[in-house]
Amino acid sequence: MIMILSIIFTLGFISILIRSSSSKTNKNRETASKTFWDREREANFVRKKDISNLPYIVIPMESLPFQDTDNSDINRYQDTIKRLADRKLLNLSNQTNTDLKLAYGAANFPFLMDCDNRYTELIRTLQQWGKALYNSSNLSGASTVLEFAIACKTDIAASYTLLGDIYSSSNSTEQIKSLLEAAKLMNSPNKNTVISYLKSLLCE
């Protein structure tokens, strides 16, 4: 009988703890949701601000390895880069939509999103172009393209690892070290994997 009462008491206590924990979780969610929507409402009324001095990305057309080639993939990537060179590009990956509206005004938000979308297209195309050049044995060209991608703070892991492979093939230890430092600033779930890979290249 005592054992049964003990079990009932224990189960009752556990049930209370679960309900209490669930109540706290729901309250935290409600608080977070209210905070989010309060900020969002505030952001939607922020007046348009000057965005002419934002860190727009400039594509260095004179230093990238454009070439006449029969490779249709490389030609397509080059055409994309040339098209993007005439447009505004911004890396806004570290800021939420609400942050952007609060900082620069709701009226600027569509334009800023276009800039960020073009940035995404840029770093994706640079990776594809660099890989295509690498596959065609143009390591110098691939290195130049990928180095620009890194300078643009790309979060594409393959750009770091491929450039690391190129540096490793020429025993460029100092360049791998510099690339490793850049990788530590990545905003990507693959950050630690990239760092580990680059460190392994230094041990070869």
What does the pLDDT read at residue 197? 97
Alpha carbons 204 and 201: distance in angstroms, whole number: 5
Contact between residue 198 and residue 164 where contact means Cβ atoms under 8 Å apart: yes
Considering the chain, what percentage of its residues have pLDDT values greater than 70? 78
What does the pLDDT read at residue 110? 95
Q: Are residues 131 and 196 in the same domain?
A: no
Q: Domain residues for 168?
A: 155-204
Residue 148 lies in a domain: no
Q: Are residues 168 and 196 in the same domain?
A: yes
Residue 160 lies in a domain: yes
Domain boundary among 86, 108, 137: 137
Q: Are residues 131 and 165 in the same domain?
A: no
User: 87 to each of 48, 51, 99, 119, 192, how far by Cα in Å?
Assistant: 21, 15, 23, 10, 33
Residue 29 lies in a domain: no
Q: Are residues 118 and 172 in the same domain?
A: no
- What's the mean per-residue pLDDT of the chain? 88
User: 188 to each of 99, 114, 148, 194, 200, how far by Cα in Å?
Assistant: 19, 21, 18, 10, 19
Q: Are residues 114 and 49 in the same domain?
A: yes
Number of domains in the chain: 2
Q: Are residues 159 and 133 in the same domain?
A: no
Q: Are residues 99 and 169 in the same domain?
A: no
Q: Are residues 41 and 108 in the same domain?
A: yes
Residue 114 lies in a domain: yes
C-alpha angle with apex 71: 78 to 77, nearest 5 degrees? 20
**Residue 172 pLDDT exceeds 90:** yes
Q: Report pLDDT digits (tens) over 160-171.
A: 999 999 999 999
Q: Are residues 73 and 100 in the same domain?
A: yes
Q: Are residues 175 and 96 in the same domain?
A: no
What does the pLDDT read at residue 13? 54
Residue 13 lies in a domain: no
**Residue of 114, 44, 126, 46 whose CA lies nearest to 80:** 126
The first and second tokens of residue 20, run together, are 């209490």
Instruction: Please name the amino acid found at residue 7.
Output: I
Q: Report pLDDT digits (tens) over 120-131.
A: 999 999 999 999
**Residue of 172, 115, 175, 116 whose CA lies nearest to 150:** 175
Residues of the chain by 3-state class (helix, strand, coil), percent to 5: 70, 0, 30
Q: Are residues 50 and 115 in the same domain?
A: yes
Q: Are residues 90 and 166 in the same domain?
A: no
